[in-house]
Amino acid sequence: YRAIDADGHTLDISLRKKRDNHSAYTFIKRLIKQFGKPQMIIIDQAPSTKVAMSKVIKDFKLTPNCHCTSKYLNNLIEQDHRHIKVRKISYQSINTAKNTIKGIECIYGLYKKNRRSLQIYGFSPCRVISIMLAS
C-alpha cells in the first residue's frame, strides 16, 4: 500500500503478504492516527480497500462522501510508483522484498522536490537511510 498527499509527497508505504481487508484497514487507520482525518481519500477499485474504507468511515465517523474510487483520479499515485512496478527479480522472502523496495523508495524520495528537509510527513528518506546504514 502507498499513500501520497495532493502535492505528490509520499506519506507512508506498507508491504504485506496478503492484500486483504485487515491489512488495508490497518494501513488506513495508521494514516488517520498519524495525519488526522482527511478531506478526501481516493482509492483503487480493489474489493479489499472498499470494505476497509467503509469500516474506516464507520469507526472514525468520517463523512460518507470523503472517499471515491476513480480510475482517473488515482493516476497521481499510479505514476508515483511506476518505477517499482517494473518487473524485479523474484524475492526469497517478504523481508528481502521489503528491504529492497524500502531502499528504492528512499533513493527515489531523495530526488523528489523538497523531501530532504520536510519532517511533517511520516516517510523521510534521510531518516530511513540513516537507520538502514546503522543496522
Q: What is the DSSP letter of 20?
A: -
Residue 59: its pLDDT value, please?
92
CA neighbor of 53 nearest in space, from 67, 71, 37: 67
In whole angstroms, give the CA distance from residue 23 to residue 48: 9
Instruction: Taking residues 118-129, report their average pLDDT.
Output: 62
9-25 confidence digits (pLDDT tens): 778 888 888 889 999 99
Instruction: Taking residues 62-67, report their average pLDDT.
Output: 85
Mean pLDDT, rounded, of the chain: 78
Listed in sequence order, the residues at least 6 apart from 98 whose beta carbon sits closer than 8 Å to its beta carbon are 15
Instruction: Taking residues 21-36, report their average pLDDT.
Output: 92
71-110 confidence digits (pLDDT tens): 777 766 666 666 666 656 677 788 888 888 778 777 777 7
Looking at 7-93, list the stretches that DSSP marks H as alpha helix, in order from N- to C-terminal side. 21-35, 47-60, 75-80, 82-85
Residue 88: its pLDDT value, please?
63
Per the CB < 8 A criterion, the answer to whether 106 and 131 are in contact is no
How many domains does the chain divide into?
1
What residue numbers bound the domain in which 73 lies?
A: 2-134
